[in-house]
Structure formats: structure tokens, C-alpha cells
A = this chain, B = another copy of it.
Amino acid sequence: MATTETNAPAATGDPRPTAYAELTGLLRETAVLASASATLAWDQETMMPPAGAALRADQLSALTALVHERRTSPRVAELLAECEADASLAADEVVAANLREIRRGYELATRLPTSLVREIAETSSKALEAWRDARERDDFAAFAPWLEKVVGLNRSKAECYGVPEGGEPYDALLDEFEPGMTSAEVRGVFDALRAGLAPLIADIAGASRRPDQRLARVPVPATTQSELARRVLERIGFDLRAGRLDVSTHPFCEGLGPGDTRLTTRYADEGFVDGLVSALHEAGHGMYEQGLPKAEHFGQPIAESASLGIHESQSRLWENMVGRSRPFWEWALPEARRVVGSALDGVDVEEAYGFLNTVDPGLIRVEADEATYNLHIMLRFDVERGMLGGDLPVRDLPGVWNERVKQDLGIEVPDDRRGCLQDIHWSLGALAYFPTYTLGNLYAAQLWEAVRAALPGLDDRMREGDFTPLLGWLRENVHRHGRRFTAPELCRRATGKPLSPEPLLRYLEGKLRPLYGI
């Protein structure tokens, strides 16, 4: 497609800025302020000295208010309405996508009454404190009233957003994180995935073969791990001249804006593989950010990711499909040996591959392996919908949770700390966020099948440490589109098919059955 909105307004010959040009100009100014705020948030997690916390809170709250004021300004509404009334603009696909998404963002930002926004903010900050304390003391009863309040506020939020016809309240919340996806669709895909995973996980549990876990204990200094991660990131295509890699307690990726994407990871004292795999995960997010069309379209929806699920698909693809594959380690292990030295003596690709693909059902989501991880998510998806719809009273949550873990993972939950109190998300007020993680795994596997079909020599290239064909395919089929299409539509265009559980099941089956000899 040759036309872009840069051409469209110029064609009118009017020297005054068109409504569309003024609108995108305002959005760019707002994005610049939001990116300043994001830089401060990054600094807070990585650089800020402890005593700077109070000032930082004031800075962030001042900038958040300025950004919100600009996003919800009446002038945006006027310009947007003017553009929507101009039929000529709809002809340009980029402009049309921008207008659709600017409208969506404006409604999300303005439909909630200020009183509700304030109540959500106040509740979250208190609920977070209550959750930290309740988890520490393993006291679900102390957190339950807060969770009830969070659920209630999310119900109000869903009402304000409006439940789509034939949908359920959960859809209204899901739309914030995963636009274009309904909970009925998610349920359909999740149910099929669960049905396929159960026998695989059961068979693995009964297998007699177990991968060696020695790599968990190889001691590698943090500076060496950092050096290795940096080399690997550079090779896979994360541009360190337009980004950074640092250390933080919880790894994250922050795309600050054009030319500045920052990743963090963490390095364990024992074992170097987790730190590297976590860096690969964040670099997957980071290369997506670097591939979005921000240079031209910063501030416009078209320069943003399609959804959280698609964002997560990029991190999971590099972490799992690449970073836990044999071809990758055929290149990466000699590289690691050069950096790490004798600590890796005697380790071969098969050992690394086995270690990285160990399936071991456990209580904690964030420590789960590629196969069982999705069961943790489906559990959360189901209890969230139950609580929101009222079928699951909050007080019954621990019982339902523990029974489901027993049923799906075959383990007893010894306490709520390692059960329904383990995640931070609800205490932050976020319901309907969890499914985007498994949607990420599903999209990743489906994209992976498509890219392998399109690039038959991919494994050989990876063995040589050449990741350009893979990154090129992702740039072309995913990154450059930004938010032009909804996630389901992007999936159809990139893979030729609607989202399906089959590719992820095929991928896990094809990897884990041979590994475990089942």
C-alpha cells in the first residue's frame, strides 16, 4: 500500500492543518510526554536510589495527569468527530485504522466517571498493601474483602465500557488488553488446548526418562552472564544502539519511543540459563517495539502493538521456540563456552536441550514450564469469570483453586501463599489480563508454524547464528503492521488461519514426546 496519511491531507491543498493533521499532532505531543513518564518509570526500577521514591511518585503523578488531560481533551473529541465525518479519509487504510483505534482509546479513557477512576486508584493502592501483607502471613481472609472490592469495581467498569451484544461483562474488560477478542472465543480455544495438554502432561508424569538438571547449578558470575546475554541479543537482532539491557528484580521491556527500547533481566547466582532465557524473552518484546512503525507514526495507534497477546507472542517465540530449540543451542553453546569458560566443560547440546525443556508441574505460575504454564492461566481465566459473573463467591476461591490445581497438575496446594494469593495482578485491580499470556503462547506457536513453512532452511540458519530471515519474516508479517489490524485479523493474515490450539499442541507434542521417550 503506497498511500499513507502523510499524503492524504496534503492533497487538499489547504495551507491550514487538516483536522487529521492537527489530531495526529496532538497525539504525538501527548506521546512525547507519556514517553518521558515511561523513562522515569524505567529509571525507578533500574537506577533510582531508594530515597528518591517520593519525588519520583510526584513526578509520575504530575506527568500522568498531564497525559490524561491531553488524551481526554474536548479538542481531541472535536477533531476525531470531524475526521470520522470525512468519508475521504476512510479510503486510506492506515488512516482508517488510526481513526478506529483513536476512537476506541478515547472511549476507554473517557467512559469511566472520574469518581470510579479515583476509587479504582485508591482501592488498588490499598489492595496492593493488603495483598503483600496477606500473602506474607498466608491469610486469605484478610485479602478477601479487597478482592471482593476489586471484583465489584471491575463489574462497574465493565458496565461503563458496555457489554457487547451477546457477550458477557468479561468481554468488556478483555477488550482493554486484547481488542477484537471475546471471552467465548478464548474459552473455545482454551478448552481444546486443555483437552490436548492433559494426556501429554499425564504421560510425561509417568515417563521414566528425566532430563539432567546439572545446568541449574553451574555458577557463572553476573558480569559474565550479562556479557553473554548482550552478545546473544546483538546477534538475534535486538539493536543495542537503540536500546539497553539492565538488571531489575522483575524483568521487563519498556519501549520508550522511537530509538529507545529498554530491557531488563536478572542473573541468578547459580545457573546462567534462566538469565539468558529471560533476556531472550524481553528481547522478543524489544524487537517488536523496535519493529513498530514509530519513526513515522509515533503517537498514533498504528505505531502501537496489536494487543498484549501479540506482544507476548513475540517474547514467547524468541524465548521458547528459538531459545529452547536444538538449532539455537548448536550455535549458542559454543558461544556461551567462549564467554563462560570452563564451567561449561562437558555440557553438550542434548543436555542443554533437555534441561531447557524439562516439564515439572508446580504450584507457581511464573516458575512453570512451557506445557503446564497454560494450565495456570486457564485456571485464572475461569475463576476470574466466575467471580465477575457472581457464580464464584470470593470466599470460595481457595477451595475451588486448590481442587483445580489437584485436578489439572496433580498436586496438593499446601497454603494460599502458593495458591490463590501468589499473583500481584488482582491487587493491582487488573482482571482479564491473565488470558493474554496463553494467547501469546498460542499466537507464537501458530506464527512459528507459518514461518517454518515459509522459510524451510530456518534451522540451518539458526545453527549458524543467523537470525535475520526469522526476524525479517516477523518484521514483515507482524511488526510493521502495528495496530493496523486487530490481533485475530493479524493472525489470519500472517498465518492464513484463525487462531487455533492445534499449532501449540503440535509443537509441544513434537518436542516433549521424543524428549521423554513417550
Contacts and interface: CB of A to CB of B under 8 A. Distances in A.
Interface of A: 29, 32-33, 35-36, 39-40, 43, 47-56, 58-59, 62-63, 66, 239-244, 256-260, 298
A343 B498 CA distance: 67
Given A52-B242, A240-B49, A243-B49, A62 B29 contact: yes
A58 B32 contact: yes
Contacts of A66: 66
Given A33-B62, A259-B49, A43 B54 contact: no
A36 B40 contact: yes
Nearest to A223: B223
28 contacts: A29-B62, A32-B55, A32-B62, A33-B59, A33-B62, A35-B55, A36-B59, A36-B63, A39-B39, A39-B40, A40-B40, A43-B43, A47-B244, A48-B260, A49-B240, A49-B241, A49-B243, A50-B241, A51-B239, A51-B241, A51-B242, A51-B259, A52-B242, A55-B257, A55-B258, A55-B259, A55-B260, A56-B260
Nearest to A60: B36
A39 B37 CA distance: 11
Given A35-B55, A40-B40, A52-B259, 13 more contacts: A29-B62, A32-B62, A48-B260, A49-B240, A49-B242, A49-B260, A51-B241, A51-B258, A52-B242, A55-B260, A55-B298, A56-B260, A66-B66
Contact of A259 (B29, B36, B43, B53): B53
A503 to B, nearest CB: 35
Contacts of A260: 48-49, 51-52, 55-56
Copy number in the complex reads 2
A346 B241 CA distance: 43
Contacts of A36: 36, 40, 59, 62-63
B32 A39 contact: no
B39 A43 contact: yes
A54 B258 contact: yes
Contacts of A298: 55
B51 A32 contact: no
Contacts of A50: 241-242
A244 B51 CA distance: 11
Contacts of A40: 36, 39-40
Please list the 10 inter-chain residue pairs (A to B) with the smallest Cβ-Cβ separation, ordered nearest first: A52-B260, A51-B259, A51-B242, A36-B59, A55-B257, A52-B259, A32-B58, A32-B62, A50-B241, A51-B241
Contacts of A39: 39-40, 43, 59
